[in-house]
Amino acid sequence: MIAGEWVEGPTTFSNDPVEGTPDHFATGTPDLVDAAAKAAEEAFWSYGYSTRAERAALLRRVAEEIDLRGADITAMGCKETGLPSARLEGERGRTTAQLCLFADHVEQGSYLDRRFDGALPDRAPLPRADLRLMQRPIGPVAVFGASNFPLAFSTAGGDTAAALAAGCPVVVKGHSAHPGTSDIVAQAIDAAIKACQIHPGVFSQIQGGNRSVGTSVVQHPLIKAVGFTGSLAGGRALFDLCAARPEPIPFFGELGSVNPMFILDGALAARGAEIAGGWAASLAMGAGQFCTNPGIAIVQEGAEAGAFEAVAKEALAAIDGQIMLTDGIAQAYQSGMSRMAQVASVRTVLSTTCAGRTATPFLFATTAQDFLKNHDLAEEVFGPLGLIVTVRDAAERTALAQALVGQLTCTLQMEDGDLPEARALLPVLEQKAGRLLVNGFPTGVEVSDTMVHGGPYPASTNFGATSVGTLSIRRFLRPVCYQNLPEGLLPSDLV
């Protein structure tokens, strides 16, 4: 989909359905990327200066067009990903609600961060000019679709919605895990653009192709920022490409996180079994294919830790195998599980059998001393795998927290009596994560004004940003100061 036209590539590729016949799609090329980026630049000179009402109308119409194609999206999504229809329908609802939330937020206008310093012509020793500031869109944005969210983090997902809300045209590099789903959503966006009489270059989507296609997207001189959700290795490679450009551009990558859960002593004593069962359910939700999957539980050693481990083991053992999104993700999960099992200082608590594209839960345990000696234990294994880390005392729990790399989330399970230790841990955890939770599980990410889905590296490549919630719009804006401009020349939002 290049600026409102379906264009044939020189070759085709196919999806890899769980069941049924593969579908074929045009393969992207650097030349198609170039055409899409040039169309986006042309569209920017009108769309970037459109009214907030016009952009809000487009976002709402995209949501409507997606819902009109809901049955087709669900059918194709189930075929390509193996996700259940209820999960896909819920994700579609989240995607359309997000578009509508952004529309409301754009109309309200606070995201512009408008500031005014009136002229002081008589000020001594020097007068002050009339100064006004507001946020302006940065230009065409590239978005890489995610494997684990075929709707909410892909073609019309959070990055695309935020860019369109900001006034930036979008070039999407679709994920090969679900090209058919992405194409149906692209049809919905195109229909909305035509209905709203917006320049067609506002949206393009390119599927498939080798690494040169992704490289050409982030290195195209007309692209001004990149949004990405995916692996640490893939994201870091794209980040380095963005930084190496003659004009470096921001790369907003959400990469990886183990989302540690600190179970303080009072909570372990009062609710250990309940927390263990909830943790197991959270670990295995969606075959563990959530970036906020709480992969590590930290508990005080002793009899209560043993009881926690036993309940978690029993709960995980009762969970059936689940189909993973792609063969590659399943292979990476099995490889990560095997690496964990081969570490001498790690004890296998639950070992199951998984093969092909099906994942079953695994549970391991180690001590804080051994965890701190082996940085590999703190790396994400994408799937339903949990690691219990036992600490000797509160001081060791703090040391473990201080040794963590950046995370999307950190969770405290606590009772009122745990408050003093929680207060001591909180400043450390604030430096480690974008979202802090108490007495919950992080796998639910609310789309709202207050959500932060990001964190210090390697959770994300920009600790000052979020990829979920209305604050995500700010990634694709930059402040502009207007000095002594006559009213007729000022942007309408500053008059």
Give the count of beta carbons closer than 10 Å to the beta carbon of residue 221: 12
Question: Are the CB atoms for 412 and 404 separated by under 8 Å?
Answer: no
Q: Degrees (nearest 5) of the Cα angle 18, 207, 86?
A: 40
Residues in CB range of 269: below 8 A, 6 or more apart: 304
Helix (H) or strand (E) holding 162: helix 158-166
Catalytic residue among 41, 42, 65, 254: 254
- State the pairing for strand pair 261-263/407-413: parallel
Q: Is 168 a catalytic residue?
A: no
Beta-bridge mates of residue 12 = 26
| Separation CA 181–CA 80 (nearest Å) | 8
Beta-bridge mates of residue 131 = 117, 483
- C-alpha dihedral, 301 to 307 to 311 to 312, nearest 10°: 0
Cα 310 to Cα 214, 280, 364, 365, 376: the distances in Å are 46, 11, 12, 11, 25
Q: What's the one-letter identity of residue 274?
A: E
3-state secondary structure of 222: coil
Q: How far is CA 456 from the centre of its chain?
A: 14
Residues in CB range of 399: below 8 A, 6 or more apart: 368, 372
| Separation CA 187–CA 469 (nearest Å) | 25
Tokens representing 381 are: 């294994």
Catalytic residue among 291, 354, 396, 421: 291
Residues in CB range of 427: below 8 A, 6 or more apart: none
- State the pairing for strand pair 362-367/347-350: antiparallel
Q: Is 254 a catalytic residue?
A: yes
Check the CA dihedral 36-94-467-150 and report its sign. Answer: negative
Residues annotated as part of the active site: 254, 291
